[in-house]
Amino acid sequence: MADSLAVPGSAVRPDAATLWRLYVDEGLTIAAVAKRLRVAPQTVHTWLVTAGVPRRPNRATARNDISDEQIVRLYTRAGHTAAKIAERLDCSTSLVYFRLARRGITRRSRAARHSVRPANSELAHLYRDCGLSLRDLAGRYGVSARAEHGWLIAAGIDRRPPGAGPVACDGDDPIALYQAGSSAPAIADRLGCSPSTIYRRLGAAGLARRRVSPRVSRQDLIEALDGGLSAPEIAAALGVSVSCAWRALAREQLVTNTQAARRRRRLRYPELYRSPTPQAANVSVSGNP
């Protein structure tokens, strides 16, 4: 089947194979497909419906590894911002807001999200003694990193050089905790900072990171793939994030049924997956008008 594209600026509909390749195989959004074909997004949507190309599921509902209750608890009880929850769960803020709305949770007002600036002594303790980063402090007080930077300037607290300064927060020494067997994420949760901050302090202290055993074994992956599970379903079954499942599949050089089917289509119909060759412009070199 010919791999035809719409003529730029026209309404000539490309064939179903081309629409499938752009939207399904290449993963382009409707807006991206419309931009490439130089038509309106609504036109592309109509073409997809007419060609029978299935729409991708909404990302906000496809993350089966993240429960609504988990997001609601972090937002209402722990008081985290949507950005902090998204960072912690490795998802987007739009997913967080979608789940909150689905559960009927009203978003906090801007005034409620912005905290009163803490005392200078508290900022100095958290930034100098505990070694929290601007991002950690911003998440702790529900403000932006830029606002937190302004607080440090107003308090006369100088920025520290990268990797400098000990971390000892509220009597807890992260170096001792790590040497005692606690993981960096567990220490970070205990001290109210990010794992990257803990790893940075461990490196400054010259302490090598422990080798981490894979959370997902090859046997677990094989059994899940034999059952026809997709990556999100594998993540939900094993209690890990979707990104963790994808990394495990890549590490073990395994593919899902969908990936295998896509590879077979590429091998069977290579002409459908070739990039269109741009036509050379017919330019006269004779100098005649």
First to last CA, the chain: 40
Q: What is the pLDDT of residue 8?
A: 45
pLDDT score of 198 more than 70: yes
Residue 164 tokens read as 């400098």
- Contact (CB, 8 A) for 5 and 276: yes
pLDDT score of 199 more than 70: yes
- Contact (CB, 8 A) for 273 and 266: yes
Residue 207 tokens read as 């302490």
CA distance 215 to 245: 9
**What residues have CB less than 8 Å from 230, skipping those under 6 apart?**
256, 257, 258
Q: Is the dihedral angle over the CA atoms 106, 109, 110, 116 positive or is it negative?
A: negative
Q: What is the pLDDT of residue 5?
A: 47
**Between 199 and 275, the higher pLDDT residue:** 199
Indicate the burial class of 126 (C-beta count within 10 angstroms; 0-12, 13-18, 19 or more): buried
Q: What is the pLDDT of residue 163?
A: 54
Residue 215 tokens read as 């959370």
Q: What angle do CA 53, 67, 69 make, to 5 degrees?
A: 140
Indicate the burial class of 180 (C-beta count within 10 angstroms; 0-12, 13-18, 19 or more): exposed
Beta strands in 3-51 (DSSP E): none
CA distance 165 to 144: 23
pLDDT digits 0-9 by tens, 29-68: 888 888 888 888 888 888 888 888 887 666 555 677 788 8
Could you tell me the pLDDT band of residue 111, with boundaries at 50, 70 and 90?
Answer: very low
pLDDT score of 167 more than 50: no
